[in-house]
């Protein structure tokens, strides 16, 4: 039996909504960052769900918005919304900051408004700071979801998720973040790819 129903598949991808992608370096204390973004999912839903009649529904851009606040030095908190109905709460906990490399943990919780089901992620975030205006950002970590199987029963699901992107800072108040990622389980027989672009305003992180 194929494990996931349509709701579970959708949660797998809202677990890393477009504006949840961010560098390991945190927003400066007391500042606010506004991020808008969109991503595109590309996969055949029928391979994951025997009763999914809207396989094409996942092959379109999904817009989102996140506001992130620098709560303390090395800690920021984000609150976001992603269409068609996912609310997210995340934190970035900075553990290492150097001129060349940054490392943080980014616990993230996502609540799907329509299904009433949550998903939780704990990615590790790493910055490779190539220059004052550009960094390579990688993330890797597990995702836990409470979803529904094709017969409507609740199912607990663990996924793996990994991705890479760029943090480009052309202006002091502007950041461009193209990224791509994969998620899935070996039992599915294939991984799922997706990617997107986020644009952040204000709250510019301090890079050497």
* Cβ 124 vs Cβ 141: under 8 Å: yes
More confident residue, 85 or 103: 103
At 54 the pLDDT is 42
Q: Which fold has domain 6-201?
A: Porin (2.40.160)
Q: Tell me the chain's radius of gyration from C-alpha atoms.
A: 17
Diameter over CA atoms, the chain? 54
My answer on whether omega of the bond before 84 falls inside 30° of 0, hence cis, is yes
pLDDT average, residue stretch 92-109? 95
Mean pLDDT of the region 117-131: 90
User: pLDDT-based confidence at 107, cuts 50/70/90?
Assistant: very high
pLDDT band at 208 (very low <50, low <70, confident <90, very high): low
Position 189 scores a pLDDT of 53
pLDDT score at 187: 57
* pLDDT tens by residue, 152-203: 677 777 878 888 999 999 988 899 999 888 777 655 555 666 777 888 887 7
Q: Which of 40, 14, 44 is nearest to 178 (CA)?
A: 40
């Amino acid at each position: 039996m194929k494990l996931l129903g349509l709701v579970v598949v959708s949660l797998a991808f809202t677990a890393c909504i477009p504006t949840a992608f961010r560098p390991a370096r945190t927003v400066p204390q007391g500042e606010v960052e506004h991020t808008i973004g969109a991503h595109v999912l590309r996969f055949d839903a029928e391979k994951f769900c025997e009763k999914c009649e809207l396989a094409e529904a996942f092959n379109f851009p999904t817009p989102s918005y996140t506001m992130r606040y620098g709560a303390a030095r090395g800690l920021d908190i984000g609150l976001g919304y992603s269409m068609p109905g996912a609310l997210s709460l995340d934190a970035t906990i900075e553990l290492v900051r150097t001129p060349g490399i940054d490392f943080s943990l980014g616990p993230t919780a996502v609540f799907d408004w329509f299904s009433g089901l949550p998903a939780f992620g704990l990615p590790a975030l790493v910055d490779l700071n190539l220059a004052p205006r550009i960094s390579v950002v990688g993330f890797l970590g597990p995702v836990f979801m409470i979803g529904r199987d094709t017969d409507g029963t609740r199912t607990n699901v663990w996924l793996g998720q990994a991705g890479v992107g760029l943090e480009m800072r052309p202006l002091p108040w502007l950041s461009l973040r193209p990224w791509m990622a994969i998620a899935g389980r070996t039992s599915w027989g294939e991984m799922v790819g997706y990617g997107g672009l986020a644009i952040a305003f204000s709250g510019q992180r301090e890079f050497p």
